Amino acid sequence: MWLRHTVSALTLWVTWRSQVKIEKGCLVAETAGWLPGGVDMELPSAARVYDYLLGGGHNFAADRAIGEKFLSAMPDARISARTNRAFLRRSVLFMMQRGIRQFLDIGSGIPTVGNVHEVAQRVDPETKVVYVDNEAVAVAHSQIMLKGNEKATALQEDLKNPLEILHHAETRRLLDFSQPIGLLMVGVFHFVPQSMDPQALLRVYHDHVTPGSYLAISQFTSEFKNEQMQRVVKVMSQSRDPMYPRPKQEIEALFQDFELLEPGVVRLPEWHPDSPTDLDGDLEVSGMLAGVGYRR
């Protein structure tokens, strides 16, 4: 098993390393040999800006330019991204401790350190993971990374088309809907405006998973540091993924069909911290709130 992982990691690294260079201490895309068809390199995407903030190499000049503006608007954006990844990891482990062995990760992004299948399959190699993103680069790179992993897959679909995701042949091949599922919607709902009726969307997901399933959500909020958040909103309006931060009450309302578990919707470090020192420092640095709900 370790040999298969090592070989696929090496293949991925070699393919990828030949197409990146180091700029300002960050790995950036030099050629786009891995670029799937139909991607507009001039139009920044949230997936690639996030990748840039996390120090990844799957972003283009336009993404890096917006990434720099994002950093001007929110100087702690890199810490925010890492804090969000830490919430993702903790929520996966929380669900696994409660028996979850299959995940539907929607808005999964470009693979980086601590992807869901890595976190989960380290605990139980039999864990199944379906990644979904509506961004072609994120999905293409996820598919390269998952080559040889029979228990994880990646689909290009939109969160706003729940039935396409839930009835997709690949979703059904890997996930058993008669058993509880961990729904992960981490860092993605701020791309869904209220006009899209996010609660109605979530109800479709709720109604398709069996009791005992869980839902994790983190998203940008207007609850604190709102001036900064409005600057970020302005920056992201120049991308293909405009952003809609929500007040706490609206985020809590996203869990309406799920039972919101303790400690409720909170600032990211406050959600089941690994250690008390996680609560040192500025708890609002991520600009996000998060929670986990349970399907009764």
Ligand X SMILES: C[S@@+](CC[C@H](N)C(=O)[O-])C[C@H]1O[C@@H](n2cnc3c(N)ncnc32)[C@H](O)[C@@H]1O
Contact 214, 292 (CB under 8 A): yes
Give the contacts of 89 (CB within 8 A, at least 6 positions apart): 114, 119
Please report how close the Cβ of residue 52 comes to ligand X at its closest, in angstroms: 11
**45 vs 121 by CB, closer to ligand X:** 45
Residue appearing with tokens 């479709």? 204
Chain residues that interact with ligand X, rule: CB under 6 A: 45-47, 50, 84-85, 88, 106-109, 133-135, 138, 158-160, 186-188, 191, 241
Q: Quick one: angle between helices 46-53 and 136-146, nearest 10?
A: 60
Q: Where are the alpha helices (DSSP H) in the chain?
A: 2-17, 46-53, 61-73, 77-97, 116-123, 136-146, 162-166, 169-174, 198-208, 226-236, 248-254
Please report how close the Cβ of residue 7 comes to ligand X at its closest, in angstroms: 26
**63 vs 241 by CB, closer to ligand X:** 241
- 163: buried, middle or exposed (CB in 10 Å: 19+, 13-18, 0-12)? exposed
Please report how close the Cβ of residue 107 comes to ligand X at its closest, in angstroms: 3
**84 vs 102 by CB, closer to ligand X:** 84
The CA-CA-CA angle for residues 246, 249, 254, to 5°, reads 75
> What is the C-alpha to C-alpha distance for residues 254 and 108, in angstroms, rounded to an integer?
19
**180 vs 287 by CB, closer to ligand X:** 287
**48 vs 225 by CB, closer to ligand X:** 48
Contact 149, 122 (CB under 8 A): no
Please report how close the Cβ of residue 116 comes to ligand X at its closest, in angstroms: 9
Please report how close the Cβ of residue 191 comes to ligand X at its closest, in angstroms: 4
> What is the C-alpha to C-alpha distance for residues 271 and 88, in angstroms, rounded to an integer?
11
**100 vs 106 by CB, closer to ligand X:** 106
Please report how close the Cβ of residue 77 comes to ligand X at its closest, in angstroms: 11
Beta-bridged to residue 185, according to DSSP, are 217
Please report how close the Cβ of residue 296 comes to ligand X at its closest, in angstroms: 25
**11 vs 34 by CB, closer to ligand X:** 34
